[in-house]
Each structure stands twice: as C-alpha cells, then as structure tokens.
C-alpha cells in the first residue's frame, strides 16, 4: 500500500514539473538577422590556397569553392577544387570533389577536416600524360580575420588507387572569403 502512495506522489511531482511554464533562460536563442555579421552571408565560400606538393615537387594554386549544406550554423561543406601546379619536370592538374567540415564557426579559430575523391592529370616532359584516380583526407585550421575573411593552413594526404598507385602530401596556405 505504501509503495502505491509513493508511486502516485512521484507521478504527481513529475507531472507538475513537466507542465510547469517555461523559463526565459530555457528558450532557444533568437534567430540570426541580416545584421549579425558572418551569419548574413550566402552559402558559398571561395578560397585561394597556395600549395606545394612534397611528393613530385610541384607548387602553384588550387582555387576551391565550398557550398554550405543546411542552415547558417551547419558545419558541412561540399568542396570543388581544381589546381594548377608547376614543377621542374611536370605540370600537375588535380580536380577534387569532396566533403569538408568547418568546426566552431562562431569562434576565431576554426578547425577543418575533410575527405573526397580526386582525379590527377600529370603532364610530364618527354612522356605521355598520366591520369590517376584516388582519395584524399585533409585537416587544418582557419583563423577568422573578420566576419568574411579567413586565413589558414590545410595539409592533405592523397592515395592514388588507379592509374598507378601512389601517395601524396600537400600542405596548403589559404585565404577564404564568404560570399
């Protein structure tokens, strides 16, 4: 009998707590407005990374476009990049399609990680063109200069799976601009 009373009292207390009026501090934050700085931009970001490939010794630029999925606070990006890198004995033209997560967007320091697929064209002097297909992973950090401009460093590791196996390592210094 006593267990029934205890159980009934517990149900009454839980019901009172569940239907109590919401407090102001429990309310979600207000939606961002057009005057909220970085949140007012479109879904697109363009970046101009300067890259040096350690394997193959090429250097140049790899412009990229990032498209943000979801709402203004989403971390997911679709990444499309094409590079033009020159070296002592080859012209290296990589085409990348992948995913990048830009973490902690509301902070000055923004870690970035990503992965994707890559098609590499190598125009080697005195040899036929070489095409390789593979995958890459990348990680780095961006530093917000203002609400649109970020500067940073990304290091990419690629593994070629078809057209001749191989590994690649490419550090990139970048400047990105939210449109």
pLDDT, position 105: 81
Give the closest residue to 16 by CA, choosing from 24, 26, 8.
8
pTM score above 0.85: no
pLDDT digits (tens, 9 = 90+) for 68-93: 988 877 899 999 999 999 998 899 99
Burial (Cβ within 10 Å: 0-12, 13-18, ≥19) of residue 114: buried
Other beta carbons less than 10 A from residue 144's beta carbon: 20
pLDDT, position 164: 86
pLDDT, position 18: 44
Cα separation, 50 vs 151, in Å, equals 12
Please name the fold of domain 41-178.
Porin (2.40.160)
Would you list the domain boundaries of the chain? 41-178
pLDDT tens for each residue of the chain, 179 residues long: 555 666 556 555 555 544 444 444 444 555 444 444 444 467 899 999 999 998 889 999 999 999 998 887 789 999 999 999 999 889 999 999 999 999 988 889 999 999 999 999 999 888 888 999 999 999 999 999 998 899 999 999 999 999 988 899 999 999 999 88
Cα separation, 157 vs 112, in Å, equals 14
The sign one gets for the Cα dihedral 157, 68, 95, 150 is negative
Other beta carbons less than 10 A from residue 49's beta carbon: 23
**Strand 76-82 to 64-68 pairing:** antiparallel
């Amino acid at each position: 009998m006593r267990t029934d009373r205890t159980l009934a009292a517990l149900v009454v207390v839980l019901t009172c707590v569940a239907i109590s009026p919401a407090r102001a501090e429990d309310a979600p934050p207000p939606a961002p407005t057009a005057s909220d700085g970085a949140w007012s931009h479109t879904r697109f970001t363009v970046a101009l990374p300067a890259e040096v490939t350690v394997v193959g010794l090429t250097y140049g630029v790899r412009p990229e476009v990032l498209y943000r999925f979801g709402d203004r606070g989403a971390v997911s990006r679709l990444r499309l990049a094409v590079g033009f890198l020159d070296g002592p004995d080859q012209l290296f033209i990589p085409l990348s399609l992948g995913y990048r997560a830009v973490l902690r967007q509301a902070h000055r320091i923004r870690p970035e990680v990503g992965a994707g697929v890559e098609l590499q064209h190598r125009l080697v002097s005195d040899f036929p063109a070489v095409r390789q297909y593979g995958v890459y992973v990348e990680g780095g950090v961006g530093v917000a200069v203002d609400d649109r401009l970020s500067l940073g460093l990304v290091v990419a590791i690629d593994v070629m799976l078809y057209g001749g196996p191989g590994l690649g390592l490419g550090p990139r210094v970048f400047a990105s601009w939210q449109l």
